[in-house]
Amino acid sequence: MVYKAALFDLDGVLVDTARYHYLAWKNLADGLGFEFTLAHNERLKGVSRMASLDILLEVGGLDHRFTPQEKDRMAAEKNQRYLGLVAKMEPSEILEGVVPFLSALKDRKVKIALGSASKNAPLILERVGLTRWFDALVDGTDVTKAKPDPEVFLLGARRLDVLPGECVVFEDAQAGLEAARAGGMHAVGLGRPEDLPGAHEVFRGLFDVDPARYFG
């Protein structure tokens, strides 16, 4: 089948901001007095900010200790630290193969959208110079349900004026792949096959994907 649209997650697919998220969450955990490891951080991939905070507090055994207002403050604190880090991002931090892949899609007249849980996605795309490639952006400010709910990708398809079945989603997180499949889209995983059982197929990165495979 030849698909009409490509939807991309941001973190770990187009740019590697995972380490910035981790440093910001770890700083919060340090202040609360417990260790937050890279292994713990894997559970946050593709998850919204507040859901990520709930996971972090669960790791620290503090998940029932804070009011909604206190949790809002902690999430805002984490985000401010994260913004301070990503504000220094440069185009050199775009992952290998991303720009050639996006360019090949444009040559084929494929519609392109972002589908990210991050509320900071527009800022990051602007910082690294990727905004111009996208026909639609859907981020954490546009949706109320986190992946694996398909809302973010279904909204992306609507903004591109295509059917869900005409879309390929590129994701590095299991939650995102589950969201793509729940929305009736073709789910391509980027990473290790053992980490991404929800994918229809898995590649190491966009540098490893032939656009003609999906888009003619």
Tell me which residue of 155, 157, 189, 153 sits closest to 174, measured CA to CA: 189
* Residue tagged 């790791």 (tokens): 59
Sign, Cα dihedral of 24, 26, 29, 30 = negative
The Cα 87–Cα 98 span in angstroms is: 20
* Residue tagged 């720009």 (tokens): 99
Per the annotation, the verdict on 11 as an active-site residue is yes
Computed on alpha carbons and rounded to an integer, the radius of gyration of the chain in Å comes to 17
Tell me which residue of 127, 124, 120, 158 sits closest to 141, measured CA to CA: 120
Which residue among the candidates 11, 30, 72, 210 is catalytic per the annotation? 11
Per the annotation, the verdict on 161 as an active-site residue is no
The Cα 26–Cα 119 span in angstroms is: 19
State the alpha helices, DSSP H only, in the chain. Answer: 18-32, 38-41, 49-59, 68-86, 98-107, 121-128, 151-160, 174-182, 212-215
* Residue tagged 């609507």 (tokens): 158
Task: Evaluate whether 199 touches 188 at the Cβ level (below 8 Å).
Answer: yes
- Active site (catalytic) residues: 9, 11
